[in-house]
Homo-oligomer: A and B are copies of this chain.
Amino acid sequence: MDDSRLYSTRQPKIYAILCAMADTYIVADIGGTQIRAALFPSYQTTPVKIVRTSTQGDGQEPLERLLNLIATIWPVSDRVVAIAVAAPGPSDPYEGIVFEAPNIPGWTNVPLKKHLQERFQTLATIGNDANLAAMGEWRYGAGKGHNHLLYVTVSTGIGGGVISDGKLLLGVRGLAGELGHITVDPNGPMCGCGKRGHLEAIASGPAISRWVADEISRGVPSILSSRVNFSAKDVAWAANENDLLAKTALKRAGTYLGIAFADFLHIFNPSAIIIGGGVSRSGSHLLVPLRNALREHVISEAYLEDLVITTAALGDEVGLMGALALAQTLA
């Protein structure tokens, strides 16, 4: 009998365990009411962790709440390649400064990238929500494969993001892509930005419901006339109930969107326009007039031949997915 073999079988078994350190990305999306953060392994596009907290509360500043939220999903053993954060409002994507966040009082010129880098000692980057929505839809949503793409969100405001030749259009200070603030009627209504006749002043959600309210106050009949407050969503509901005023309101908004989209085709010659935001879910009462106006105002059929116009695919995840796409550009 071989003693050594007998002896070895009595030894505790020792396994060689391969402890590879995986690459990950952490992304976050700051909204007016909640902040969300997610951890993505570099090889997949579904998060392994996703957490959220309210934007304000507990006597903490939103910045502190964001940083603490990120800390809760920091991987124990994996490496974080980069952090990317989608911030509302205008920002400097090069320096990583949020100029202002409309729904977060006191957020003015916040050097967010610097805070992230100092706290977590890793690469960090930020982008505004509309630009990152464009990146998200381009990489993972309705715009996959389109390297010349516009994303237009029609909601409380109208924002945009442009992918030009496979790259996010930023401009010299990162202020490009403000597609809602083009003048579509110099004599049109006042915009929230204080200038007259912008697309946002005519076709955003509040602009649609305000126009309906004004018409009702002029005596135009509508099933919405008994309501004290109503939104563009209510206008879409009324249009589906065959309310003439509501249908006219959506036709008006859709027509101006179509005129603006024709401008964008002439300027960018994209192969996809993706419409996001709540108003984009108004259905055919908005989208049919939009397409008709686009066809009517475009200078050549050649702009339409390769063009896909579609609604956004990513829903509420678009900010996180856009931030993921942005983080990946740092890898």
A residues with a Cβ closer than 8 A to B are 90, 99, 147-148, 162, 164-165, 167, 169-179, 181-186, 193-195, 259-260, 262-263, 266-271, 296-300, 302-303, 305-306
Contact = CB atoms under 8 A, between A and B. Distances in A.
Contact of A178 (B177, B178, B267): B267
A147 B172 CA distance: 8
Contacts of A267: 162, 176-179, 182, 267
B183 A262 contact: yes
A198 to B, nearest CB: 8
Task: Find the residue from A165, A169, A266 having the highest chain B CB count within 10 A.
Answer: A266
B170 A269 contact: yes
B306 A195 contact: no
A269 B186 contact: no
Nearest to A178: B266
A173 B297 CA distance: 19
Given A183-B184, A186-B184, A172 B269 contact: yes
A172 B296 CA distance: 21
A297 B178 contact: no
Contacts of A147: 172
B164 A297 contact: no
Contacts of A300: 90, 175
Contact of A183 (B195, B263, B271): B263
Contacts of A148: 171-172, 176
Contact of A169 (B164, B186, B298, B302): B164
B183 A259 contact: yes
Contact of A302 (B173, B193, B306): B173
B259 A178 contact: no
A146 B113 CA distance: 26
A17 to B, nearest CB: 47
B306 A178 contact: no
20 contacts: A148-B172, A164-B169, A165-B169, A169-B268, A172-B269, A172-B270, A175-B269, A175-B302, A178-B267, A178-B299, A181-B263, A182-B263, A183-B184, A183-B263, A185-B185, A185-B186, A193-B299, A195-B262, A195-B297, A267-B267
A54 B172 CA distance: 42
Contacts of A195: 262, 296-299
A240 to B, nearest CB: 27
Query: Nearest 3 A-B pairs (CB), nearest first?
Result: A171-B269, A178-B266, A176-B269
B269 A181 contact: no
Nearest to A162: B267
A303 B262 CA distance: 24
A40 to B, nearest CB: 27
Contacts of A179: 266-267
A149 B294 CA distance: 27
A226 B164 CA distance: 51
A181 B178 CA distance: 19
A323 B242 CA distance: 57
Contacts of A173: 269, 302-303, 305-306
Nearest to A146: B172
